[in-house]
Amino acid sequence: MAFPPAHSYAIGVDRDLILALVVVATAYLAGSIPFGLVIARARGVDIRSLGSGNIGATNVARNLGKKLGLVVLLTDALKGALPMLAARWLALDAKVSPYLYVAVGLAAVLGHCFPIWLRFRGGKGVATALGVFLVVDPLAAAISIGIFAATYAAFRIAAIGSLVATLAFPGLLWLRNHSTSHLVLALLIALVIIVQHRDNLRRLRRGEEPKV
C-alpha cells in the first residue's frame, strides 16, 4: 500500500491555516463595514454628528427612528453571524484549532468597534456580538435578548440592557456546558463591550445617560 509523501500533509495543513487566516481577516473587514453610517448617509445625515456620535443601532434609533435603528441592528448582527457560519461550514475549528471561533468572532466585533475605514473609531459592538452569539448558541442568545428586553423595560436605557445581557451570556454558556473556547470567546467579547461602554458608564454614574 502506497502512502502519500510527508510533505503533502504539510501542504494540507498550510492550506487550512491560510484559509483560517483569510476567514479571520474577512471577519474583521466585514465587521468594519459601518452600516449605521451608510444607512444614515442615505438619509442625508452623518450620524457621527448627532447624539452620542456613535455609528451603532442605538444612536441611529435615537436620532433617525426605531425602524432605521432596527435595520442597523440586523445588518450589524449579520457582520458577526456570517463569518462564524463560514468558519463552521468550512470546519476550520476541527482542522486548525477549536480557538478559531474565538479569533473569528472577536475579529468581527473588533472590526465593528475599530473599523479600518473610519480611522478605528466605530461602535460599541453589541449588535455584532449578538450575531456571533446567535451562531454559538441560539437558545442562550435568545435568553440574553430576553434579559436585555426586561432590563430595558425597567430602565429605558439601552446601555444598561446591553451590558447586563452581554455579561449574562458567558454564564449561560457555562450553565449549558459549552467548551472552554466558547467561554473564552464570550468573556473576551464582554470585556470589549464593557470597555466600549466606558463613556456610558460615566454618564450613568452622573445620571446623564439618555433614554431611547
Here the cell at position 210 is: 439618555
Here the cell at position 209 is: 445617560
Would the pTM count as exceeding 0.85? Answer: yes
Is residue 109, in this structure, part of any structural domain at all? yes
Condensed to tens digits (0 to 9), the pLDDT of residues 113-160 reads 999 999 999 999 999 999 999 999 999 999 999 999 999 999 999 999
Distance CA 173, CA 171 (A): 5
Is residue 114, in this structure, part of any structural domain at all? yes
Is residue 72, in this structure, part of any structural domain at all? yes
Is residue 4, in this structure, part of any structural domain at all? no
Distance CA 56, CA 37 (A): 8
Is residue 1, in this structure, part of any structural domain at all? no
Condensed to tens digits (0 to 9), the pLDDT of residues 58-78 reads 899 989 999 999 999 999 999
Write the Ramachandran bin of 125: left for phi over 0, alpha for psi from -120 to 50, otherwise beta: left
Condensed to tens digits (0 to 9), the pLDDT of residues 37-55 reads 999 999 999 999 998 899 9
30 within 8 A of 85, measured Cβ to Cβ: no
**Confidence band, pLDDT 50/70/90 cuts, at residue 94:** confident
State the pLDDT at residue 103: 97
189 within 8 A of 166, measured Cβ to Cβ: yes
Q: Which domain holds residue 170?
A: 12-206
Is residue 21, in this structure, part of any structural domain at all? yes
Is residue 42, in this structure, part of any structural domain at all? yes
State the pLDDT at residue 152: 94
State the pLDDT at residue 144: 98
Is residue 7, in this structure, part of any structural domain at all? no
* Residue matched to cell numbers 464593557: 194
* Residue matched to cell numbers 458567558: 170
Torsion sign across C-alpha atoms 156, 159, 164, 165: positive
Number of structural domains in the chain: 1
What is the share, in percent, of the chain residues with pLDDT greater than 90?
Answer: 83
